[in-house]
Structure 1
Amino acid sequence: MPLPRPAPAPDATKRDLALEVHRRLCAEYGCPVLYFHALSPLDELVSSLLSHRTKNADSARAFASLRAAFEDWAAVRDAPVAEVERAIAGVTWPEAKAPALQRTLRALTERQGLLDLSHLAGMSVPEATAWLASLPGVGPKTAAAVLSFSTLRGRALPVDSHHHRVAARLGLIPKSLAVGPSHAVLEALLPEDWDAQGFYDHHQMLMRHGQRCCFFRGPACGRCVLRDLCPEGQSRLGTTPA
């Protein structure tokens, strides 16, 4: 299967900006960040598919509900779709996520002969990303989440809506660039010698800043530690970037 198309060579100025943003946000929120769970790659795939446009607490409850209602993921795959939908009723769009989850599990079974993703440990991150993204319902964010958040602990950079918003306002990516293709562009800005923890911290820092300061509506630019780096923040404050 084809590997993801590499991002263009990063601009040195943007790479320096990404590192300065990382440094300041780590000072603000604290690094390194403890991984929030240690799920197997398959468990993480299911968890990530449930989490789309859903609060973490709600998707976590839905994941726990699935585990309680079904013996294993094969049982989820083979169950009547209405039963799966009831188990995940707390997520956004359970009527769409239930059949989508089953399609992904069926495709994985057809390809592997069983429900297992342990083979990803023997792949490079680009290879594993391409393999996962070839499954129905798996895009760049879900693939990166499986590789980064699961026990694989890979050097992958998930980009959620908060991360994407902060990056766009800072000028790290064009505002017109969608979340999916932004993964490769933003990952290319990070140093080649960073380990998986560095990638995880970077995602967590930009996500947290989006949640706690750089809000979608009414961002708190006046108290932002990045305001002198941010063209949009400077515009909102009526000042000129240094």
Structure 2
Amino acid sequence: MSSAADLAMLVHARLCTVYNCPIPYFSDLEPLSELVSALLSHRTRNAASGKAFDALRARFPTWEEVMRADLSEIEAAIAGVTWPELKAPRIRTILSAIEARAGRLSLDFLAELSPEDARAWLEQFPGIGPKTSAAVLAFSSLRMRALPVDSHHHRVAQRLGLIGPRIGLGPAHVILLLQLPDTWTAQDLYDNHEILMMHGQKVCHHRRPACGRCALVDLCPSALKEMREP
């Protein structure tokens, strides 16, 4: 491979064949709801965070009500997530900060900004990092150009050598996005995230990756090293 960008393109092409791109969007939440969903999902399985999100909406039909609710009530509604005692005050604080900064409790105005400016606006609030800001842009009804990187995506990228072994999740967002064409659409970037994430879930497991049935085995230094070892 002549460059990381060339490798990234080859990986994308192969995995798109395996996982059938384009990948349908899994969410059509408006951006503020997607933000809350993303905050709930930190270190929590999707099924549990999805159930907590639904419970929160059932208890509080509007985000204004969540913003004014007692923390104990929010915590009780999201009890199924990891660290509900931390996420309840964080969600309420972020909602209040958005209303104060934007003048209303909505993130729809982000559609008027560039992806870079929209992410910078979100990341000014403590508790919103690169993964969350990218998720809001990419997964919500905004459908903006952004590349979220979750733990599965990150693991596959490291094993392939797209990012170095010491590159953390935050810096990986910048590096991996720069490897992809700036002409790509939001759907292209969404596909890239989804196929790398699914590959990590289905094949490139944290423990005992299934290298024997991996479509990328000939491109993967980690797999080739493992196969050479006795």
What is the TM-score normalised by the length of structure 2?
0.97
Q: Which of 215, 219, 227 is residue 229 of structure 1 equivalent to?
A: 219
* Aligned counterparts of 2:8 and 2:102: Cα–Cα separation in 1: 38
Q: Which of 7, 27, 44 is residue 37 of structure 1 equivalent to?
A: 27
Structure 2 match to 1:14: 4
Residue 154 in structure 1 maps to residue 162 in structure 2: no
SS at match of 1:210: helix
Residue 66 in structure 1 maps to residue 51 in structure 2: no
Equivalent AA in structure 2 for residue 173 of structure 1: I
Structure 2 match to 1:134: 124
Could you list the structure 1 runs, at least 4 aligned residues long, displaced by more than 3 angstroms after superposition. none
Segments of structure 2 that go 5 or more residues without pairing to the other structure are none
Task: Report how far residue 12 of structure 1 moved.
Answer: 5.9
**Is the CA contact 1:41–1:152 (under 8 Å) kept in the aligned structure 2?**
yes
Segments of structure 1 that go 5 or more residues without pairing to the other structure are 1-10
Task: Report how far residue 29 of structure 1 moved.
Answer: 1.2
Equivalent AA in structure 2 for residue 32 of structure 1: P
Task: Report how far residue 77 of structure 1 moved.
Answer: 1.2
* Aligned counterparts of 1:101 and 1:12: Cα–Cα separation in 2: 45
Structure 2 match to 1:196: 186
Structure 1 match to 2:167: 177
**Is the CA contact 1:171–1:231 (under 8 Å) kept in the aligned structure 2?**
yes
Residue 57 in structure 1 maps to residue 40 in structure 2: no
* Aligned counterparts of 1:47 and 1:12: Cα–Cα separation in 2: 39
Q: Give % identity.
A: 55
Residue 212 in structure 1 maps to residue 191 in structure 2: no
Q: Which of 72, 76, 79 is residue 89 of structure 1 equivalent to?
A: 79
Report the count of equivalent residues. Answer: 229
What is the TM-score normalised by the length of structure 1?
0.92
Residue 28 in structure 1 maps to residue 44 in structure 2: no
* Aligned counterparts of 2:109 and 2:2: Cα–Cα separation in 1: 36
* Aligned counterparts of 2:51 and 2:28: Cα–Cα separation in 1: 16
Equivalent AA in structure 1 for residue 149 of structure 2: V
CA RMSD of aligned residues (A): 1.2
